[in-house]
């Protein structure tokens, strides 16, 4: 069974800064839950908003550059 890898991208209201939070688990939903939990713990500003959530089932086939966009 493959591991799922989720990247949550957050941005402040002015959209001049992005933050990335990740989660990895054996199920897609658990991976998303971990990424959201990491966002909740690590967000820098109360005005940060979730910009995108992307989940990959085979992180080895994804280029790092495409994740950070």
Residue 4 CB neighbour total at 10 angstroms: 21
pTM, to two decimals: 0.79
Q: Provide the pLDDT for residue 12.
A: 80
Q: Provide the pLDDT for residue 31.
A: 94
Q: Provide the pLDDT for residue 66.
A: 65
Q: Provide the pLDDT for residue 45.
A: 73
Q: Provide the pLDDT for residue 2.
A: 67
What letter does residue 53 receive in the DSSP assignment? Answer: E
State which residues of the chain have pLDDT below 70: 1-2, 15, 61, 64-69
CA-CA distance, 54 to 35, in Å (whole number)? 10
Which residue stretches of the chain are H helix? 28-42, 64-67
9: which strand partners?
A: 20, 52
Q: Provide the pLDDT for residue 53.
A: 93
């Amino acid at each position: 069974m493959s591991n799922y890898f989720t990247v949550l991208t957050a941005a402040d209201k002015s959209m001049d800064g992005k933050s990335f939070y990740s989660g990895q688990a054996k199920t897609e939903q658990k991976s998303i839950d971990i990424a959201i939990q990491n966002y909740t713990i690590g967000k820098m500003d109360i005005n940060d908003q979730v910009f995108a959530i992307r989940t990959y089932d085979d992180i080895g086939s994804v280029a790092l550059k495409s994740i950070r966009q």
